[in-house]
Amino acid sequence: MQDNDLEYLTIALPKGKLFSLSADLLKKVGYDAENLSEKSRKLVITNEEKKIRFIITKTADVPTYVECGAADIGVIGKDVLLESEKDVYELLDLGFGACHLMMAVPTDRKRAKLSDYAHTRVATKFPHIAEEFFTRQGMQMEYVKLNGSIELGPIVGLSESIVDIVETGTTLKENRLEEIARIMDLTARLIANRVSFQLKFDRIETLVRDLKKIL
């Protein structure tokens, strides 16, 4: 793979729930490739005719690939993008993958006010975003960084609360947790490398304009 090839546009797509949504959307504007599937064993899938390359990566790595220029553009959830604090262009709100980030606490141990949780422990996958939120509320917290099953935190006594992503709220209910603060709404974003946005500007601009038409 010639990584400095100006002819190709390299697109990083995340595995998981955003994959098929992104692939479908890009297909509508003519960006597809044969055998483009999350389960593909090939990590790089190329459409020679249209000069497009897809890289399929772990969700949290998409901003890294794009920031370093290994991919020109990528699709990623706003949550992961914010948490990664990477220097990339955020070009478009793609509208799908809608969910929100919130703070939840065990229903049976709910305290009266948000500020009653100051200086307690909060389990989260997103310590940076969480810290920004609590700082704005004038609260200092202790952050316990977890990589999955965040709801487990309060159940096993690891933390007093959680900050996590919620789509429907079912998982919260099942674990007897209750949302007490909505932090932000999240959707998938189209991001671009800062140099690619210069050197491959015409292609990226066309893609953005085409996507805007169908969003």
Distance CA 9, CA 52 (A): 5
Distance CA 117, CA 122 (A): 9
CB of 91 to other proteins, least distance (A): 5
Distance CA 178, CA 127 (A): 20
For other proteins, which stretch binds (CB under 8 A), given 40-48, 86-94, 113-121, 171-179? 86-94
Phi, psi of 182 (to 5 degrees): -90, 125
Nearest to other proteins of 5, 116 (CB atom): 5
Distance CA 93, CA 145 (A): 27
Q: Which of 12, 45, 88, 186 binds other proteins (CB under 8 A)?
A: 88
Among 69, 60, 66, CA closest to 128 = 60
Phi, psi of 10 (to 5 degrees): -100, 125
Q: Which of 43, 68, 98, 184 binds other proteins (CB under 8 A)?
A: 68
Q: What is the number of residues in the chain?
A: 215
CB of 195 to other proteins, least distance (A): 5
For other proteins, which stretch binds (CB under 8 A), given 2-10, 24-32, 55-63, 156-164? 2-10
Q: Which of 87, 142, 167, 185 binds other proteins (CB under 8 A)?
A: 87
CB of 160 to other proteins, least distance (A): 30
Distance CA 152, CA 164 (A): 12
Q: Provide the token pair at 82.
A: 């914010």
CB of 161 to other proteins, least distance (A): 28
Q: Is 214 in the site for other proteins (CB under 8 A)?
A: no
Q: Which of 29, 51, 60, 89 binds other proteins (CB under 8 A)?
A: 89
Site string for other proteins, 120-159 (x = CB under 8 A): ----------------------------------------
Within a 10 A sphere around the Cβ of 188, how many other Cβ atoms?
A: 26
Query: What are the DSSP calls for 105-135, one per residue?
Result: EEGGG--SSGGGGTTSEEEES-HHHHHHHHH
Q: Is 195 in the site for other proteins (CB under 8 A)?
A: yes
Using CB under 8 A as the criterion, which residues of the chain lie in contact with other proteins when the complex forms? 3-6, 67-70, 87-93, 189, 193-195, 198-199, 201-202, 205
